[in-house]
Amino acid sequence: MTQQKLWWGHTKRYNDFPTYFRNLFSERVQKVSVDAGFTCPNRDGTKGYGGCTYCNNKTFKPTYCNLENSVSYQVHHGIRFFEKKYKSMRFLAYFQAYTSTWAPLENLIPLYEEALRHPKIIGLVISTRPDAVNDELLDYLAELSKKVYVMVEFGLESHLDASLEKMNRGHTFAESVWALEQTTKRGIKNCAHLILGLPGETRSDWLEQARVISQLPVNNLKLHQLQIHKGTVMETQFRKSPENFYLFSAEDYIELVVDYLELLNPKIIIERFISQAPPEMLIAPKWGLKNFEFVAKVEKKLKERDTWQGRLF
């Protein structure tokens, strides 16, 4: 187990985000979600309409994230929610809903800086698309990152252009590569978000994705299994042609995750393996596992196979 300790400074079998975060900050730090009223270029007609086929934004938005509430209000109430559990904490404002850079820079700056005015907010996490950032915005974020923590989270979703087109993403993988390179060039932390199990893709595609991502300047990685959510285009497609979808069992997905980790650059920090939609919004697959339970199963499988992230990198 000495090899991975050289890479990430501990003896866990993968480069896990909680350990990284604890080492980065001297105190407990929690993300607080903010909805600032953004839309997406594939919803407002710039690139298309209807949004991504898999997307129902309600599956990950807390109740306090209401567009009638200001950024300051959302930050305040998010912090109050977590302070009930932990008295001593600092927070990151997580601009999570839709494409949180999809506005002119002169409109974005006041929103970001409103969040940062709260004394317990020590940085920003900004969720966006690779085609929704530009040099002007990235230059601003580079300057901001010299003062506070800044992470830009990009929805890449797939490394295959055919899949991106099928999902109505409205961007190419080349644009994803550009966005990752430009954030890294400016010293801005980034996170890549990818879905495993997309229709038309195969196990070979997902393992090749691990190899492709490993060659890119990715700081953090969020994986999740394909889920069918109510109220999405994908729900309609699934009900019409379920044979076009392969929905993992938990056991199959765990095996895939371990195979993926073996191929993955050990420098990449793993933020998550799965997504959890509210039960009332989830059609399939229904595993009945909480995030910590799934992580424990992955760790157990890594130990059983005596393997680790980057073993085959």
Which pLDDT belongs to residue 309? 97
pLDDT digits (tens, 9 = 90+) for 37-71: 888 988 888 888 888 889 886 655 455 445 568 99
- Has domain 2-304 been given CATH number 3.90.110.10? no
pLDDT digits (tens, 9 = 90+) for 292-312: 999 999 999 999 999 999 999
In whole angstroms, give the CA distance from residue 290 to residue 288. Answer: 7
Q: Name the pLDDT band for 147 (thresholds 50, 70, 90).
A: very high
Residue 97 pLDDT > 70: yes
In whole angstroms, give the CA distance from residue 53 to residue 169. Answer: 8
pLDDT digits (tens, 9 = 90+) for 158-172: 999 999 999 999 999
Phi and psi torsions of 149, nearest 5°: -70, 130
What is the DSSP annotation of 16-51? BHHHHHHHHSSS-EEEEEE------TTTSSSS-SS-
Which pLDDT belongs to residue 64? 46
Determine the average pLDDT of the residues in 71-84. Answer: 88
Determine the average pLDDT of the residues in 270-283. Answer: 92
> For the ranges 79-88, 122-131, 210-219, 220-229, which has the lowest average pLDDT?
79-88
Which pLDDT belongs to residue 303? 96
In whole angstroms, give the CA distance from residue 185 to residue 162. Answer: 28
Amino acid identity of 37? G
Higher pLDDT, 64 or 190: 190
**Cβ atoms within 10 A of the Cβ of 292, count?**
8
Q: What is the DSSP letter of 249?
A: P
Q: Name the pLDDT band for 276 (thresholds 50, 70, 90).
A: confident
In whole angstroms, give the CA distance from residue 48 to residue 71. Answer: 28
> Does the predicted model carry a pTM greater than 0.85?
yes
Q: Name the pLDDT band for 101 (thresholds 50, 70, 90).
A: very high
Higher pLDDT, 50 or 136: 136
pLDDT digits (tens, 9 = 90+) for 249-259: 999 999 999 99
Which pLDDT belongs to residue 105? 96
pLDDT digits (tens, 9 = 90+) for 28-39: 899 999 988 888
Q: What mean pLDDT value characterizes the chain?
A: 92
Q: Name the pLDDT band for 85 (thresholds 50, 70, 90).
A: confident
